[in-house]
Amino acid sequence: METSFKRRMLNLANRLIRPLHIEIVPSMRADRPVDEYIPFHKTAAEAKKAGLTIPQYIEAVYAGAGTIQETIDRLAASGAICAGQKNICEVGPGSGRYLEHVLRVCQPEHYEIYETAADWRDYLAATYPVVAQPCDGRTLSATPDASMDLVHAHRVYNTIPLTLTLGYLFETMRITRPGGMVVLDIFSGESLDEPTARKWVESGALFPKFLDKQYVINLFASQGFRLVDSFFIGLQHGRTEYLVFENAPEEAAPASRPALVGEPAFG
Ligand SMILES: C[S@@+](CC[C@H](N)C(=O)[O-])C[C@H]1O[C@@H](n2cnc3c(N)ncnc32)[C@H](O)[C@@H]1O
């Protein structure tokens, strides 16, 4: 769908107010810096005005109807999320649009978040049964080693600087218990085919970050994580590639011989 819901609403509103010689222009620029996540109060007010919950509104404006449920269904099918996962950590939950689904499916005893946007973090902690951990923007330092059944992040490692991503990936591996699951998504080469790359260029967006899929697979394999699923989910301007890992230490690459970039890590 080329024209987003937001743009259609904007066009409609502008047609209605044209006789007044004024025009509404979007304020959520694609070239916003990533540490400037969409403003909480403005988003909440717009969602209310549209008669939607915040997650519904975010999905309508930024993603596309059904994409969150599609993601959740696929994660459930691959065994990444399931009832009985007692301890869950999410990095960068933002509006909580995935959080509420994962809470429903997994019914965890403990769900913790690391979020740098203070207004969203406070809103999530007040709205859902989650613990907002102190977030330094780099580490998961409040979480003990090998303690989490699931560690997940959505649209975080394709938007933050590489060194922060790498730090979070090492931290994710540290806190995932043996047998635990990891879910993340990236802008891989496979999710940036030529038409999609052109769409991103036309969008003017400055926040997307590239990560090599095989590199990430090998990094996880070097610490005993095996890839159990990968799939694409459509976005406003393109698509993102999800990777699902299981912490399976018996399959760890020998310490003396780290996995090499480009070397298949499974199958
Ligand atoms: C593109 S948004 C995605 C939000 C949410 N996961 C979603 O899919 O709707 C990126 C999120 O990561 C958060 N974030 C950015 N840098 C971060 C960091 N260094 N540590 C933790 N969260 C961060 C932002 O505040 C925002 O909530």
CA distances from residue 165 to 146, 158, 160, 184 in whole angstroms, order as listed: 19, 9, 7, 11
CA of 230 to the centre of ligand 1 (A): 21
Q: How confident is the model at residue 60 (pLDDT cuts 50, 70, 90)?
A: confident
pLDDT in tens, 197-218: 999 999 999 999 999 999 999 9
Regarding beta strands 239-247 and 225-234, do their DSSP bridges make them parallel or antiparallel, or are they unpaired? antiparallel
The position carrying tokens 């967006």 is 205
- Asked if residue 116 has its Cβ within 6 Å of ligand 1, the reply is yes
Contact 116/135 with Cβ under 8 angstroms?
A: yes
Q: What's residue 55's pLDDT?
A: 84
pLDDT band at 187 (very low <50, low <70, confident <90, very high): very high
State the pLDDT at residue 59: 82
- Report yes or no: 57 and 98 within 8 Å, Cβ to Cβ: no
Ligand 1 pocket residue status of 117, Cβ below 6 Å: yes
226 C-alpha to ligand 1 centroid (Å):
25
Ligand 1, atom nearest to 37 Cα = 25
Binding site membership of 92 for ligand 1 (Cβ less than 6 Å): yes
Cβ proximity of 241 and 231 under 8 Å: yes
Is the distance from the beta carbon of residue 114 to the nearest atom of ligand 1 less than 6 Å? yes
pLDDT at 168 > cutoff 70:
yes
Predicted pLDDT at 11? 61
Mean per-residue pLDDT, 28-46: 68
Rounded Cα distance, 151 and 111, in Å: 10
Q: What pLDDT digit, counting tens, does each position of 130-149 carry?
A: 999 999 999 999 999 999 99
Instruction: Give residue 193 CA to ligand 1 midpoint distance, Å.
Output: 25
End-to-end CA distance of the chain: 36
**Which sequence spans correspond to the domains of the chain?**
64-247
Q: Which atom of ligand 1 is nearest to the CA of 160?
A: 16
Whether the predicted pLDDT of 62 surpasses 90: no
**What are the structure tokens assigned to 2, written together?**
């080329």
139 lines ligand 1 (CB under 6 A): no
CA of 115 to the centre of ligand 1 (A): 6
Tokens coding 263:
């070397």
Q: Please check whether residue 147 is in contact with residue 124, taking contact to mean a CB–CB distance below 8 angstroms.
A: no
The helix/strand/coil state of 218 is: helix
CA dihedral 102→99→233→2, nearest 10 degrees, is: 140
Ligand 1 touching residue 156 (CB < 6 A): yes
Q: pLDDT value at position 236?
A: 81
pLDDT of amino acid 262: 45
pLDDT at 30 over 50: no
CATH architecture type of domain 64-247: 3-Layer(aba) Sandwich (3.40)
- CB of residue 164 inside a 6 A radius of ligand 1: yes
Question: Which of 29, 32, 37, 97 gets mutated to test ligand 1 (max ligand atoms within 8 A of its CB)?
Answer: 37
At 22 the pLDDT is 58
> Mean pLDDT lowest for which of 39-48, 102-111, 115-124?
39-48
Distance from the alpha carbon of residue 156 to the mean position of ligand 1, in angstroms? 5
**Whole-number mean pLDDT of the chain?**
86
Say which residues have a Cβ less than 8 Å from residue 100's Cβ, sequence separation at least 6: 55, 128
